[in-house]
């Protein structure tokens, strides 16, 4: 799978997971409607399905996904929560994304 396609799939996966967790958070912490749990459940199902689309072994996919999740979560912090990430948030996300790239794209013997 090409690198850009892999990254975009990871981003879509992260958004699905974050939405699936954010909606119950809104219900529990912010007094949102219990009906938020229905799209949350759908979003978490979508998250699990998206992870299966990666051709790598599951463990490698989950490990690499974590790096992308960190970056997307910080974007969520900024765009949805309205809190601008710090320089150190950016440094941490860069390190995590570098780790993801090493895990996913390093040469492997057959």
User: What average pLDDT score do residues 19-41 get?
Assistant: 96
Handedness of CA 81, 86, 89, 90 (dihedral sign): positive
48-87 confidence digits (pLDDT tens)? 999 889 877 788 888 888 999 999 999 999 999 999 999 9
Report the predicted TM-score, pTM, of the whole model to 2 decimal places.
0.86
Q: Confidence class of residue 110 from pLDDT cuts 50, 70 and 90? A: low
Amino acid 8: pLDDT: 92
Report the chain's mean pLDDT, rounded to a whole number. Answer: 92
- Structure-block tokens of residue 64: 């690499």
Share of the chain above pLDDT 70, in %: 98
- Structure-block tokens of residue 66: 């974590």
Where are the domains positioned within the chain? 3-105
Amino acid 109: pLDDT: 79
- Structure-block tokens of residue 71: 């970056």
User: What average pLDDT score do residues 18-30 get?
Assistant: 96
């Amino acid at each position: 799978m090409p690198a850009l396609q892999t990254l975009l799939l990871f981003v879509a996966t992260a958004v699905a997971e974050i939405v699936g967790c954010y909606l119950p958070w809104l219900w529990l912490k912010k007094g949102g409607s219990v009906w938020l749990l229905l799209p949350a459940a759908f979003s978490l199902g979508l998250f699990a399905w998206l992870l299966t689309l990666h051709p790598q072994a599951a463990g490698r996919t989950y490990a690499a996904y974590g790096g992308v999740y960190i970056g997307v979560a910080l974007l969520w912090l900024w765009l949805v929560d309205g809190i601008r990430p710090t320089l150190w948030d950016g440094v941490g996300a860069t390190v995590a994304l570098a780790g993801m790239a090493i895990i996913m794209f390093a040469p492997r013997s057959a």
